[in-house]
């Protein structure tokens, strides 16, 4: 038992960036009236993302480790997801990328970035796709509560635009 305690202490010391994941997350199942291929493109191409998030610019490198940068107002450096990366890229199945907030939600911008977005894609019919969305990694405390509330409103507003895009 003593050896296990020592190993655990060494492991935790070497991995000080590990964080216990909060159970607080934004979750939604969205049905879009488009094919699986088109739904995938809405999340993985610059034109696709721009069509429903109404952003000015995007840099998306569709591969593991590629950029997932959205510029809501390029002239304001604090209103973007610059330096966010794709963590999982399984074409037509699953997309996971880092997420951060504007400078007013500074708690979300600590390194390593604590939050991420996961989207799973499921073809229901020829022109109907279910997206299972999760925005994960929100912590505890008043700053995190503000960030969670802000992004809950933002994501659900964006999902209405996504549903109406196709």
Instruction: Give yes or no for residue 14 having a pLDDT over 70.
Output: no
- Structure-model confidence comparison of residues 56 and 153, the more confident one: 153
Q: Does domain 22-165 have CATH number 3.30.530.20?
A: yes
Q: What's the pLDDT tens digit per position in 95-154?
A: 999 999 888 899 998 888 889 999 999 999 999 999 999 999 999 999 999 999 999 999
- Structure-model confidence comparison of residues 67 and 74, the more confident one: 67
Omega into 112 within 30° of 0, i.e. cis?
Answer: yes
Domain boundaries, given as residue ranges, for the chain: 22-165
pTM of the model: 0.83
What is the average pLDDT across 61-79? 86
Whether residue 99 contacts residue 112, with contact meaning beta carbons closer than 8 Å, is answered with no
Q: In this predicted structure, what is the pLDDT of residue 74?
A: 66
Q: In this predicted structure, what is the pLDDT of residue 102?
A: 87
What one-character-per-residue DSSP string does 120-159 give? Answer: EEEEEETTEEEEEEEEE---SSHHHHHHHHHHHHHHHHHH
Instruction: Give yes or no for residue 7 having a pLDDT over 80.
Output: no
Percent of the chain with pLDDT over 70: 84
What is the 3-class SS of 79-128, one letter each residue?
CECCCCEEEEEECCCEEEEEECCCHHHHHHHCCCCCEEEEEEEEEEECCE
Question: How many angstroms separate the Cα of 115 from the Cα of each of 21, 32, 102, 129?
Answer: 9, 25, 13, 25
Whether residue 135 contacts residue 114, with contact meaning beta carbons closer than 8 Å, is answered with no
How far is Cα 38 from Cα 44, in angstroms, rounded to an integer? Answer: 10
Instruction: Give yes or no for residue 28 having a pLDDT over 80.
Output: yes
């Amino acid at each position: 038992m003593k050896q296990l305690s020592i190993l655990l202490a060494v492991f935790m010391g070497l991995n000080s960036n590990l964080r216990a994941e909060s159970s607080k997350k934004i979750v939604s199942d969205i049905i879009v009236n488009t094919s699986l291929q088109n739904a995938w493109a809405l999340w993985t191409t610059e034109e696709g993302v721009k069509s429903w998030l109404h952003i000015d610019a995007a840099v998306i490198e569709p591969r593991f480790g590629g950029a997932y940068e959205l510029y809501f107002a390029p002239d304001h450096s604090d209103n973007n997801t610059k330096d966010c990366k794709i963590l999982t890229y399984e074409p037509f199945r699953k997309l996971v990328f880092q997420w951060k907030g504007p400078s007013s939600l500074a708690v979300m911008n600590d390194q390593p970035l604590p939050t991420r977005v996961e989207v799973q894609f499921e073809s229901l019919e020829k022109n109907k796709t279910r997206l299972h969305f999760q925005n994960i990694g929100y912590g505890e405390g008043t700053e995190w509560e503000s960030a969670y509330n802000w992004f809950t409103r933002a994501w659900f507003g964006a999902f209405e635009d996504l549903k109406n895009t196709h």
